[in-house]
Chain A
Amino acid sequence: MPESVRGEGAVKAPSAAPPTRSIKPASWLRDTARRPGWLGDLSMLPALVVLIAVLSVLTEGVLTPSNIINVCSQSAVVAIAAIGATFVILTGGIDLSTGSVIGAGGVTAAWVITSTGSVLAGAAAGILAGTAIGLVVGTVAAKLPVVPFAVTLAALYVVSGATTLLSHGKTIAPVPAGFIEFSIDGPGGVPYSVWLAVVLYAVAQTVLTRTAWGRRVLHVGANVEVARISGVHVARTKASVYAVAGLFSAIAGIVLTSGLAGASASMGGPLLLNIVGAVVLGGTSLFGGRGSLLRTAVGVLFLGFVSNGMSLLGLASFDQQIITGAVIFIAASVDGIGRWSRRRS
């Protein structure tokens, strides 16, 4: 590129003025230009640390290996489903059908397992069913001028009704003991379900940050017009995240089936708010374009330790609810105020 005298001059940035050089060593954390990306991802981590510290003071046994494994294994289902929810929310969408797809995936898997005896075939069938449902929901949400909230709310009812109908409203059991073991034990005393969640987070985070698809997901959420004009296939990207959400919901449903030793259509419904809550609490923006799986992981662990702490403290369930609400509010405020002051500075 030929550099004319004019070009040279324009390269001069106002920052060349001496005063801007005096960045204090301590300010590197607040300087977004210098802060590594993953640090912004973990803005909720201090809240989690404080929560665990407070719980350690109030009760005994929070930080024992067995309790930590306990929290993780209880969080595994929400954690896995929250991966898919994160991708959807990153595009600025929302998937309310997650809970019902957990039910559909689990029931399909349990049905194939009980009738063929093969866990592998069951898992494959469940995953296929969940992904197919997600693909249909996503295609409708992406192609029709209907907001994802409405499409997925409708899907919630249709899928959950259809699953109940096909399973005759019954719990599908029994499943083999080896399959139940999946949620109870595994290498190093850590259940296979937890190992699975960890591996899936590593894979999903890598896909988000290191593939063109992950980049497109972020871009559709950041500004759909910029993405469209730059040649991103917006409808395909949107449809794909719901398919991915269906995939992960189904995996979560299979893990839940293993934990409950059977599957029913309604088993995933109550988890929806925990799943979306973990994503948002972790710091992924509901407007899309900002967030990551690392954030969601912290959000999942936060909710996991809150509920674990409540039972360690032996609180009655209504007290638990009130305190859970208060803790979530405080954590979200601290994180929100922190981000706000960083932006102001």
Chain B
Amino acid sequence: MTAITVTGLSKSFGGVVAVDGVSFTVRGGEVVALAGENGAGKSTIKNIIGGILRPDSGHVDFGDAGNVATVHQETSLFPDLTVAENILIGHLRSSRVGTVRPAALRRTASVLLRRVGAGFGPDAVVRELSAGRRQLVEIAKALATEPRAIVFDEPTASLNLDEREMIMRIVEQLRDDGVAVLYITHYLEEIFRLSRRIVVMRDGRLVADRPAGELDRSTLEALMVGRELAQGYPETTKPRQEIALSVRDLGDGARVEGVSFDVAEGEIFGLAGLMGSGRTEVARAIFGLAGKIGRIEVAGQPLRRGDVRASIAAGIAFVTEDRRNEGLFLERPIRESLSIVGLGSVCRPLGWLDHAAESRLTKDLATAVALTARSGQEVDGGSLSGGNQQKVVLAKWLSGQPRLIILDEPTRGIDVGAKAEIYRLLADLARAGTAVLLISSEMEEVLGLAHRVGVMHDGRLAGILDRRRATQEAVIRLATGGIR
């Protein structure tokens, strides 16, 4: 009952080998995890299996399954269509003359939505759904063809704990129904919970294909990265006395109200909470991208609200959660994304650019974040892996020492090596006196790095826990509306 058989796949892009002679199988009723760092070739494998790319050599066979469905990481939905239309986008013609029958669409879609445990109807417009709900739509869409083999590509990357749990239950249900599942993720705990076998790729090659029981976390990480990873999080130093950021009664006029907290110089302040609890809105309101309610002081000076340029002038840096749309230029050389914030420092009078100074600056920034782009700084941002893109977004703020750096989901969808680099950078920044406001759905990361953790619930700050009291349980209790 082999459902996906991959034999000797190879694929190069313009002289760069992305996948080199990879073979493995996935049987019906089992979950096989495909693990590897960004750029290891996982996406290429997924795209070849999904029929989006043609391999240079080797082939893919679906045996009894006949075909395969793919659940994509970056959502492949049409934001302005309804849930039902998106789920059945390939099967819209429901009458003989080729017209669309909305009632039939809704019925079929409702059945699929129930299968994935969605708590919303088929008439919702996708644009208005949260990331987690969109992912459920994505899965329902994949199930529409009754596939016997499914590839999941980072299905939980942008989800909170509850939603992740829900997705994993769906995967387990599919497995028990006899579906063959190839599961691609960066989350090692998901890999160990779901999969029977683990296929590890590195630099385009298959480096291991072993039963999950034979591997532990550190062995798997070592296989992925090709070296032993130092365990845990970097050491952080004690925060200073001076208050860098003071937020009082912050609101955005919509989601968030009455949020007050301080962050000291050199302190890492974590902001936890469920997806939709208002964490991102707090970050954007501080930086001047949303609402103007409440008072903010940076190093004792009142901050002009709703003005990004004033925030930057006050020494605030903002690493967005949406790096592809807000973080860097996908179609300009990465040099320009790196130098954009510090451009004033490489200008002569009258705004003449000093190209030599610019390339010195961008080289320094690239070194500071250990950017590993393979072809220098003239390649377009869009050609970088997620981890390298994230490093660029971070690096552009480092041309001057920021007084406060706000990071919204800085490690989403990036590999363990890049994550470790970013943790190290945050710790270095804090040690140098920068206040760090860290928002993350990965609780382990917040607990591992932050001196104090603020927990958001339903648009309000439910409580602030210091490092001693910030346990997983305590955070979840506050995040879900429980009392301290």
Contact = CB atoms under 8 A, between A and B. Distances in A.
A223 B344 CA distance: 20
B63 interface: no
A230 B15 contact: no
**Interface hub of B309, B332, B336, B380 (most chain A Cβ within 10 A):** B332
Interface stretch (A16-24, A50-58, A93-101, A188-196): A16-24
B418 A10 contact: yes
A4 to B, nearest CB: 7
A15 B39 CA distance: 10
B203 A14 contact: yes
Contacts, number: 134
Contacts of A229: 287, 289, 308, 318, 320, 326-327
B86 interface: no
Interface in A1-60: 1, 4-7, 9-17, 19-20, 22-24, 27, 30-33, 37
Contacts of A37: 378
A222 B337 CA distance: 11
Interface stretch (A143-151, A205-213, A328-336): A205-213
Nearest to A345: B14
Contact of A33 (B318, B375, B396): B375
B329 A7 contact: no
A26 B103 CA distance: 58
A202 interface: no
A32 to B, nearest CB: 7
A17 B421 contact: no
Interface stretch (B240-248, B267-275, B365-373): B365-373
B379 A211 contact: no
A211 B351 contact: yes
Contacts of B124: none
**Interface hub of B17, B226, B230, B344 (most chain A Cβ within 10 A):** B17
The size class of the interface chain B forms with chain A is 35 or more
B14 A218 contact: no
A212 B344 contact: yes
A238 interface: no
A21 to B, nearest CB: 9
B170 to A, nearest CB: 32
A223 B421 contact: no
Contacts of A13: 39, 372-374
A14 B374 CA distance: 8
A27 to B, nearest CB: 7
B343 A215 contact: yes
Nearest to B311: A231
Nearest to B227: A9
A219 interface: yes
B417 A10 contact: yes
Given A10-B418, A17-B17, A222-B329, 12 more contacts: A1-B368, A6-B417, A7-B424, A10-B372, A16-B203, A30-B14, A211-B353, A226-B328, A229-B289, A229-B320, A231-B308, A289-B332
13 contacts: A6-B230, A9-B226, A13-B39, A13-B374, A16-B203, A20-B15, A20-B16, A215-B353, A219-B332, A226-B325, A229-B320, A231-B340, A345-B14
Interface of A: 1, 4-7, 9-17, 19-20, 22-24, 27, 30-33, 37, 210-213, 215, 218-219, 222-223, 225-233, 289-290, 345
Closest 7 CB pairs of A and B: A15-B374, A33-B375, A212-B351, A231-B312, A230-B340, A14-B203, A10-B417
